[in-house]
Amino acid sequence: MKKAILSLVLAAGTCAATWATVHAPNIGGIYYNLDDETHQGTVMGCNVNGSITLPATVNYQNETYQITDIAPYAFLDKRGVTQVTIQQGSLTTIGNQAFCNSGIVAITLPESLTTIGSSVFHGADKLNSIVIPDGVTAIGDRAFTGCNSLEQIKLPAGITTISEFMFSGCNSLKSLDIPEGVTTINAFAITNCAGLTSVNLPSTLQRLEQASISGNPGITAITLPQSLRFIGENTLAFLGISSITIPEGVTTIEDYAFAQNNHLRSASIPGTVTSLGSLFIDCPDLARVYYRGTTISAPGVEAFAPELWESSMHLIVSKGMKNKIDEDMLWYYFPVITEEVNGDVDANGTADVSDVNDDINTLLGKGDAVNAVGADVNHDGITDISDVSQLINIILNK
Distance between CA atoms of residues 269 and 294, nearest Å: 12
11 lies in some domain: no
2 lies in some domain: no
Question: Do both 159 and 234 map to the same domain?
Answer: yes
Question: 83-113 burial, b if ≥16 CB within 10 A, otherwise e?
Answer: ebebeebebebbbbbbbbbbbbbebebbebb
Question: Do both 239 and 368 map to the same domain?
Answer: no
29 lies in some domain: no
pLDDT for 308 equals: 74
- How many domains does one find in the chain? 2
387 lies in some domain: yes
User: Residue 126 corresponds to which amino acid?
Assistant: K
Domain boundary among 348, 363, 378: 348
15 lies in some domain: no
Q: Are strands 243-245 and 266-270 parallel, antiparallel or unpaired?
A: parallel
Residue 278 sits in a domain whose CATH number is: 3.80.10.10
12 lies in some domain: no
Cβ contacts of residue 307 below 8 Å, gap of 6+? 282, 283, 284, 286, 313
Question: Do both 375 and 313 map to the same domain?
Answer: no
Question: Do both 362 and 329 map to the same domain?
Answer: no
pLDDT for 398 equals: 60
Cβ contacts of residue 28 below 8 Å, gap of 6+? 48
Distance between CA atoms of residues 305 and 104, nearest Å: 47
φ/ψ of residue 310, rounded to 5: -140, 35
Distance between CA atoms of residues 254 and 187, nearest Å: 13
φ/ψ of residue 16, rounded to 5: -60, -35
pLDDT for 295 equals: 79
pLDDT for 36 equals: 93
Question: Do both 258 and 369 map to the same domain?
Answer: no
Question: Do both 260 and 270 map to the same domain?
Answer: yes
pLDDT for 298 equals: 75
The single-letter DSSP state of residue 178 is P
Of 155, 162, 108, 120, whose CA–CA distance to 134 is shortest? 155
Question: Do both 276 and 375 map to the same domain?
Answer: no
Question: Do both 207 and 316 map to the same domain?
Answer: yes
pLDDT for 245 equals: 95
226 lies in some domain: yes
| Domain assignment of residue 113, given as a range | 72-348
For the entire predicted model, the pTM comes to 0.90
Helix (H) or strand (E) holding 339: strand 336-339
Q: Residues 252, 229: contact at Cβ < 8 Å? A: yes
Per-position pLDDT tens, the chain of length 398: 333 332 333 333 333 334 457 788 999 999 999 999 999 999 999 999 999 999 999 999 999 999 999 999 999 999 999 999 999 999 999 999 999 999 999 999 999 999 999 999 999 999 999 999 999 999 999 999 999 999 999 999 999 999 999 999 999 999 999 999 999 999 999 999 999 999 999 999 999 999 999 999 999 999 999 999 999 999 999 999 999 999 999 999 999 999 999 999 999 999 899 888 888 999 999 999 999 988 777 787 778 877 777 778 899 999 998 998 888 788 888 889 999 998 899 999 898 889 889 889 888 988 888 999 998 988 888 889 998 898 888 888 86
Question: Do both 257 and 392 map to the same domain?
Answer: no
Question: Do both 209 and 300 map to the same domain?
Answer: yes
Domain boundary among 332, 348, 364: 348
Distance between CA atoms of residues 361 and 350, nearest Å: 18
Cβ contacts of residue 144 below 8 Å, gap of 6+? 121, 122, 124, 127, 150, 153, 166, 167, 170
Question: Do both 375 and 330 map to the same domain?
Answer: no
- Distances in Å between the alpha carbon of 94 and those of 50, 55, 91, 140, 247? 20, 14, 8, 10, 38
50 lies in some domain: no
Question: Do both 176 and 213 map to the same domain?
Answer: yes
